[in-house]
A and B are shown apart, each in its own frame.
Chain A
Amino acid sequence: MLMHVKKQVKQLQRKSFNDQYHFIMKNDNWPLWEVFTQKRSGLPFEHAGNVHAPDKELALMNARDVYSRRNEATCIWVVPSDAITSSTPEDMGPFFEPSNDKIYRHPNFYKTPGATFE
């Protein structure tokens, strides 16, 4: 009996919290954007992390505030996280297999007696 009452009280408390803070659910469910930063012009873009934002403009501003407070970037890309397709860890073996057996793609595969290559 006591357990039952306790459970009810808990549910009520929970409900009251949700009523009071319903805006949390309503407003904070912003999409995720992956952030890529370029340190200096000429360098490749690197994944820095991600941000939540309602649209691409705010995503860019949030990315600047979160990932470049100390001149870490001269250019930023933001990409909707769900637009990214990734290989999976299970793929690790077979997916990359085609490159494993082609050692002739590396220069040290070749014998070049006497000659110097810079």
Chain B
Amino acid sequence: MNEQELEKKFQERIDKGESIEAKDWMPERYRKQLIRMMGQHAHSEVVGMLPEGNWITRAPSLRRKCVLLAKVQDEAGHGLYIYSGTETLGISREQMVEELLAGKAKYSSIFNYPTLSWADIGAIGWLVDGAAIVNQTVLAKGSYGPYARAMVRICKEENFHHKQGYEILATLMKGTAEQRAMAQDSINRWWWPALMMFGPSDKDSPNSAELLRWRVKRYSNDELRQRFIDRTVPQAQNIGLTLPDPELKWNEERQHFDFGTINWEEFYQVINGNGICNKDRLKARRKAHEEGAWVREAANAYARKKAGETIAA
């Protein structure tokens, strides 16, 4: 079969709803796009541990500390699931990690914002994980088997992240005036960056059509953003939080919330390395990798020693 026939057959499989597996034939661009998307997704999970890790030692109670530790550990696990899925496409995890540490790989722009108060841990769980769930629920039905399966596992775990964040904010909103102000300030800072997580508007997203045709994506960025807004606004109202958008209003005709204009200039600035924390995040990742080197060395030495013993015996 020539390239064209193979591509036709590939598209037929996708249209029938079949899963593409690692060893199946796939167009080179499909492979490349998935490596790019999955790599960025895995990096986001790993870098995503940093803003939250910032508050582990300062969590306000033992309960909150246990929860936050478990959540951050989950994020590490999510990174591993996705790295592992990406490796099936012919790139090694060490290469991906190297690209991240070299500052050559992208990750979600949201993690370049600082966590200034405890309420930010609530905002991340509720808004950032909430947005991630909307994205990932859809990705769990995508065409590439290893990616979809990783998403199923992640979505199950992400629900606790989402709810614990909301609980933090709900608790603060029942507290003192100062605590309520802290929660509101946090939402003022995180709302718009959370909306940016869905990526640029479809008319500015050059890859969208191709990714939709391949069922790598199943809905457009704008559709998913709208879905997130529609389900999040009532949750905010429920605990008395005001979302920082004067144009946010229920549209009876559309049966959706209308919302204001997103500052895409800010989004591109952050993506291109000029966010508040871009440099710190990379520095922290490199430091963690360097300071973990002795652990990896020790594990290697131990493995060599055990292998030697087996041969001697």
Contact = CB atoms under 8 A, between A and B. Distances in A.
B300 interface: yes
B293 A23 contact: yes
Interface of B: 21, 23-25, 70, 73-74, 77, 80-81, 84, 87, 92-94, 97-98, 101-102, 149-150, 157, 286, 289-290, 293, 296-297, 299-300, 302-303, 306-307
A70 B307 CA distance: 32
Contacts of B77: 65-66, 69
B23 A54 contact: no
Contacts, number: 67
- 4 A-B pairs with least C-beta separation: A54-B303, A27-B296, A55-B303, A28-B94
A21 B98 CA distance: 8
A50 to B, nearest CB: 5
A102 B101 CA distance: 56
A83 to B, nearest CB: 16
Given A21-B98, A49-B84, A27 B293 contact: yes
Nearest to B85: A49
Chain B binding surface, main DSSP class: helix
A94 B101 CA distance: 46
A103 interface: no
A71 interface: no
Nearest to B101: A21
A28 B290 CA distance: 12
Contact of B290 (A23, A54, A86): A23
13 contacts: A21-B102, A21-B286, A23-B290, A27-B293, A28-B97, A29-B92, A29-B94, A49-B150, A54-B300, A69-B74, A70-B157, A86-B23, A89-B24
